Structure 1
Amino acid sequence: MQSYIRLFWIVVGFWVVLTSCSDEDFLEENRKDALTTDNAFLTKAQFESLLGSIYRKVQNFYNAGDGDTDAWPLGLGTDAMFWPRDDSRIFNDWTLLNSFDGFSSRWYTWQYEIINYSNMVIDAAQKENVKWNSDEERDAVIAEGRFFRAFAYRNLANIFGGVPIIDAPLIEPKVDFMRNSREECWQFAKDDLMFASNHLPLTESLPGKVTRAAADHLLAEISISLKDWDGAIAATSRVINGTDGDYELMTDRFGSRADEPGKNIYWDLFRMGNQNYDTGNKEAIWVSQMEFNVPGGTVQFGRPTIERMMWCSYWDFKKAGYSGQAQDSTGRGVAFVRPTTHTNYTVWKGAGNDLRNTEATIKRKYYFAEDVAPYTKGDVIPKSFLTTKEDSLQFVYPNWSKFGTDKHLDGKPDNGYVRDYYVIRLPETYLLRAEAHLGNNRPDLAAADINVIRSRAKAPLVDPVDVDLDYILDERIRELYGEEFRMLTLGRLGMIYDRTKRFGYDPARNSIREHNNLFPIPQTVIDRNVGAKMEQNPGY
């Protein structure tokens, strides 16, 4: 009897199973012992962790390595800066640029890593099982993902032209990518940014988080690339007129060293601790965060290497009496990257009392450390004393104070400069609107925007008749040198060749060719795409 009862319940059990789920439900795997793409992102905190991976990638742009590693997007080898140690190095010799170049290949890879993370955010946030407090909370997270996806496609299209658009997570291997056009990439980014502009918060929840103003700033640049002048003007105006939040150019001394005499507001903008909006800096729109002695606070070496990279090594100029021992007051520049003559001198002709060109902001005077006949200790080192190439390319050249300090953390000149990095600062928003006004045949309005920046700097105002694209690009050097991604700016304008040919370091001027306005698609990308032909850019 017991065996019949057991058999009865076995049959009932099978009947319940078979009638309570379909074949698909029965076979569907619902893992609870491990994370999958379906269960890893169910709360806002989990999405914040994923978004944190994207912010970490942006840190890479500023702290990826030593030498001139971090200078490439800033305009290495163009009208702005160059490697002063070897004329045969790539970007001094543009003929060396090919599809195996490590600088642009790494940039390409970084952007698609950001796109991958962004697509994961956008896709997972729309799943029904995610616990959101409101639709607004969900849309803000999606907007953050779409902002970064647009940011990455802008970073790609400006340099490489058209690239494959990937609008969803890849769940299986794909080896048949096709390149979209450059305009399609910009339009795709524009659509993402329009969503981000509507759904990102007005204020950052934490320092370094992107906001609506960052989306509109980037939307303006993309709109300019698409020659949508009115759209660009509208987007920048939302940032400037207060619609996107309370932003304004800083005009009074502020921050950690505001009481030091002989300095100015432009100098204050780059002191450690002064970059973030929550510290009172109202022109900070998006700032990449770096922290000293904090896990994850930097990427390499425990600090960014921009001071080491950008500053000359006058502390090691033994010919002028220096000991070769860097001090807290000198920093430890190694002269991996030097400004061009155009950056150091030409753009400052007629500068008047421009605060950005004072000795506080660009150190041009260096002094003998000991008696060196016929000079005595404390005398200014004259140009005539710089008799070798190394003297003026490595030991003595203008140091821009925005890249270093005379008061290092723990007094360490080699490891003690750790500050946050402006990705977007309000003066660039004004310059984008000026560019859009110029495209709209309104040089008067373009001049008015440029003069807001020049007024803050106490520089002579520009007349509308003198405003053209070259003037705006020169003003970008004066205001944004070493901040803007100069390579991307010149790339979107198709002017890498033109500006380098006219204003670059001589070896770069002599070697650059017109096809260098676009960079080569990395060879590894082409070789792995075995299912379809990935077209290379002309000239490579």
Structure 2
Amino acid sequence: MKLYKNMLIAATTGLMLLGSCKDDKFLQETLKDKLSTETAYTNKAQFDALSATMYRSVQLFYNTADLTHEGWILGLGTDVCFDPRDDAAKFNNWGLVNSRETFSADWFNLQYQIIKVANTLIEAASKPGVLWLNEAEKTSTLAEGYFFRGFAYRNLANLYGGVPIVDKPIMESKVDFVKSTREQVYAFAKSDLEYARTYLPLTTTTPGRVVRAAADHVLAEVNISLKDYDGAIAAATRVIDGTDGAYALVNARFGARANEADKNYYYDLFVMGNQNRQAGNTEGIFVAQFEQGPTGAVVLGGTQNFGRPLIERMMWCYIWGFQKGGYTSGSPHDTTGRGVAYVRPTNYTNYTIWKNAGNDLRNTEVNIKRKYYFNAAVGGFAKGDLIPKSYLTLREDTMQWVYPNWQKFGTDKHIAGLPDNGYVRDFYVIRLPETYLLRAEARLAKGGQAQLVADDINAVRARAQAPLVSAANATLDYILDERARELFGEEFRMMTLTRLGKLYERTKAYGYEKSAASVQTYNNLMPIPQDMIDRNVGAFIPNNPGY
């Protein structure tokens, strides 16, 4: 395990461990022992196998560890969610967020792992001697590598600002990486994404494989960061208007549970098996694949750890263990799921953003469960009686046992009726409503397009049957509110807030009281991992201010 950890660290700095761990026998391999891009990849099947490792890394965004680990990128300790079990936990206490903090370091390392594989693919696919069927097969293969590299550098720039740019495989010891500026990293990502959006296919028969719309979506965001607002609007428009394929906001029932009259089409978006185009979903642009077993396809199914994603366990309240409510601890029900309340939505997410919500489908009991019932006769209440707010008198009652469950994170019908292991759903990395909200953001930043900004937001709100926003109220903060309403638990909220420099402000205004009290302005960027800095002995890489 120590060697495996060292391998992951090495990915962040291009095998720079060779310069500081000379006594490690494993790291004394000679280059002839390693795969070489000169000989290892000669046909499309081999490149597909290489691509599969990048898709596996994306799975790890959602399926690496237990407890609050996967909640970090979703906004742990910011305006949208927090750790309800421990006031002293990191991100509740932002004072514990430093250059040796592991959640952000794991994310950093994963991006460089993707970059490492993408660089190998790009270099190998560019060499003569590969047996391509035609030029289109070559360019689409390269485009996949360029997409993932641009995607990873966008993730790094959003969260950490300037980082080292590694643009080719590192085949020997290197300990003198230098830190590029944030703008240089965005520009590098833009170049990759421009290639990807030109040569990726419009459609694919393989669920989860990236297509042109995914590249244009990420390109739109990168262009906003580069203040190329016209470029951002154009990229988002290609996704929205059909140039990049036939995408549309879902407004009718579809998929595996469409015949259940007590649900609605927003609920259908999160039913197991409904996330891919092949299931009739017209919103999923880039979808991380999770199945109960490996599919054998280029985009691997299965799960990396634990046999299933742990999002229901992480995000849902612990109602099935609420003995005060007549439940028997240790006996989860198929209908209640097996949440254990590691990550709780803030009051902002559960309540504030829903003021004046009207008939917004997203806020109905179907999509956010707010009503819980006694499971046995307790204290004068009968089984089946509604648990009233007045009954929840202890802190843990509403921090752990009973709070609103967003139905997108779980199910009332688990596979084989097993709440422990029976929730295995694909995850949206990119979904069409976010593209609309990115275009709204670009139009707002450009200026002079107030009504068009409102129109983009209202496309999302109208689908949800929510009251429309006026042009005068269509601000950046309103867009962030709408992101929370539509995309909570999907968007990488931590990354959205650091990209916009709004993490401090929004956490101070809407975060859990402990997070709001401890967050600092320098937390608008995450720390560069200290391991990466320390091992880069040939050049100094400064950390972000404050760390």
Question: What is the TM-score when the length of structure 2 is the normalising length?
Answer: 0.92
Partners of 1:98 and 1:323 in 2: how far apart? 40
CA contact (8 A) 2:153 2:186 kept: yes
Distance of 1:294 and 1:391 partners within structure 2: 40
Letter in 1 for 2:213: A
Corresponding residue SS for 1:73: coil
1:472 aligned partner: 479
Match of 1:305 in 2: 310
- Taking the TM superposition and a 5 Å limit, the aligned residue runs for 1:417-428 are 417-428=423-434
- Rg comparison, structure with higher value: 1
Matched position secondary structure for 1:422: strand
| Superposed counterparts of 1:117-516, under 5 Å | 117-294=117-294, 297-324=302-329, 325-441=331-447, 442-516=449-523
SS in structure 1 opposite 2:65? coil
User: CA shift at 1:375, angstroms?
Assistant: 2.0
Supply the AA of the counterpart residue of 1:434: A
Secondary structure of residue in 2 paired with 1:287: strand
Cα deviation, 1:360-403, whole Å, max 9, x if unaligned, reads: 00000001111222322211111111111110000000000000
Q: Which residue of 2 aligns with 1:517?
A: 524
Q: What residue is the counterpart of 2:72 in the other structure? A: 72
Q: Which residue of structure 2 aligns with residue 4 of structure 1?
A: none
Letter in 1 for 2:535: R
Deviates further, 318-327 or 289-298: 289-298
Shift of 1:34: 8.8
Q: Following the alignment from structure 1 to structure 2, what is the Cα–Cα distance between the partners of residues 238 and 489?
A: 22
CA contact (8 A) 2:37 2:123 kept: no
Separation in structure 2 between the aligned mates of residue 345 and residue 327 of structure 1, nearest angstrom: 27
CA distance in 2, matches of 1:79, 1:226: 25
2:22 is matched with none
Provide TM-score, normalisation by structure 1: 0.93
Q: Trace 1:17-28 onto structure 2 (pairs within 5 A).
A: none
What is the letter of the counterpart of residue 473 of structure 2? D
Aligned-partner residue type, residue 120 of structure 1 = T
DSSP 3-state at the match of 2:238 = helix
Counterpart secondary structure, 1:75: coil
Aligned residues: 510
Give per-residue Cα distances to partners, 1:79-122, cap 9 Å, x unaligned: 01000000000000000011110001111111111001000111
SS of the residue 1:286 aligns to: strand
Please tell me the residue identity of whatever aligns with 2:309. P
Structure 1 stretches lacking a partner, 5+ long: 1-29
Runs (5+) with no aligned partner, structure 2: 1-30, 296-300
Distance 1:437 1:35, change over 3 A: closer
Q: Report Cα offsets for 1:457-497 as digits up to 9, x if no partner.
A: 00001100001010000000000000000011001001111
Shift of 1:36: 3.0
| 2:430 alignment partner, SS class | strand
Give the CA RMSD over aligned residues. Answer: 1.3
The aligned amino acid for 1:221 is E
Q: Secondary structure at the match of 1:246?
A: coil
Q: Distance in 1 between matches of 2:425 and 2:112?
A: 27
Shift of 1:135: 1.4
Give the Cα–Cα distance (whole angstroms) in 2 for the partners of residues 105 and 373 of structure 1.
Answer: 48
CA distance in 1, matches of 2:35, 2:76: 43
